[in-house]
Amino acid sequence: MEKQVKRIGVLTSGGDAPGMNAAVRAVVRTAISQGIECVGIRRGWNGLINSDFTHMSATSVSHIINKGGTMLYTARSEEFREPSGRAKALSTCKLLGLDGIVAVGGDGTFRGALALSRQAADAGMALQVVGIPATIDNDIGCSHYTIGFDTACNTAVECIDKLRDTMQSHERCSVVEVMGRHAGYLALYVGIAVGATAVLIPERELDFERDIVDKIRRARLAGTTHYMIVVAEGAGSAMDIANRIHDEIGMDPRVTVLGHIQRGGSPTARDRETASRMGYRAVMSLMEGRGNRVVVTQDGRVTDMDMEEALQMVKPFPMERYQILESLTCRQPSLF
């Protein structure tokens, strides 16, 4: 069967996530194996607007599977949100002769890709797009897992384990703020993994007495002299929480904001393998004539679904994991 796809572009957009390089590598090498040329678009949608691109070969993606960040760089583009900006991007697509684009990123990246494809169709151009979900927040509704989440969790766990050593030595309370934007997946996962005293997430309304004071008090009565509070950035400021602990309990907590360190580092095996499978699936989707799709993981399988449908989905938060956390942190006071 004659291939309809001759040349595709690949880009990374939005916040970077460990494993993006593995996804780019998979897209490039899968395309080449199928006789398709691949063009790397630098700096996300800005690259399409400004004709910032590079020809990709199998060699150009050698030795990047273990690298954090993205070799194609990433950026957000306000200009691309406007039809005039997308018109410039389409001019670049026409210049390069692109039949499709694989966009690695989050919901915003996918919305931009879908808008570009629709504007291309209105202009009489056949441009198909496929999205690959990559964000440490793991908050994309259509996919059970997003590239970068596992690495970010492991990074946070490693940092908190080291913090615990000094908190235990000084018998102190530590309040650690992790990333996650408006979602608590990262905080809850990490909180369970480090045995946190309490975890604050945006999906659960804060009751300071119940969620912090009572847990610290029970832990102290049970003989514990150091405490770890994990706060999702969407649930509030770690500094505000620490100040309130000081005011209401009289402790002097130490605050640590992990910040962008969670986005860096060598991706874990899970992120490398998942990114590789997703990159392969993205190219095959274009090869099979199924454009405007998002590659997703569903019950361990990598598949793809309609992009418009995918963007309307909302991921249910696993509150049963919070119940697990509650059970594991329950302390019975010692008998005197």
* Residues identified as active-site: 137
Q: What is the dihedral of CA 135, 140, 142, 146, to 10 degrees?
A: 20
**Amino acid in position 53:** F
CA-CA distances (angstroms) from residue 276 to 3, 101, 113, 225? 22, 17, 21, 45
Q: How many helices (H) and strands (E) does the chain have?
A: 12, 11
CB 281 within 8 A of CB 295: yes
Instruction: Return the structure tokens found at 116.
Output: 């570009």
Contacts of 199 (CB under 8 A, 6+ apart): 184, 187, 188, 191, 192, 229, 230, 231, 232, 322, 325
Phi, psi of 175 (to 5 degrees): -115, 115
**Amino acid in position 253:** P
Instruction: Return the structure tokens found at 278.
Output: 């997703």
Instruction: Using the Cα atoms of residue 258, residue 262, residue 265 and residue 268 in order, give the sign of their dihedral.
Output: positive
DSSP code string of 102-131: EEEE-HHHHHHHHHHHHHHHHTT---EEEE
* 1 three-class SS: coil
Bridge partner residues of 8 (DSSP)? 38, 100
Contacts of 59 (CB under 8 A, 6+ apart): none
CB 9 within 8 A of CB 287: no
Bridge partner residues of 175 (DSSP)? 229, 255
d(CA 227, CA 222): 12
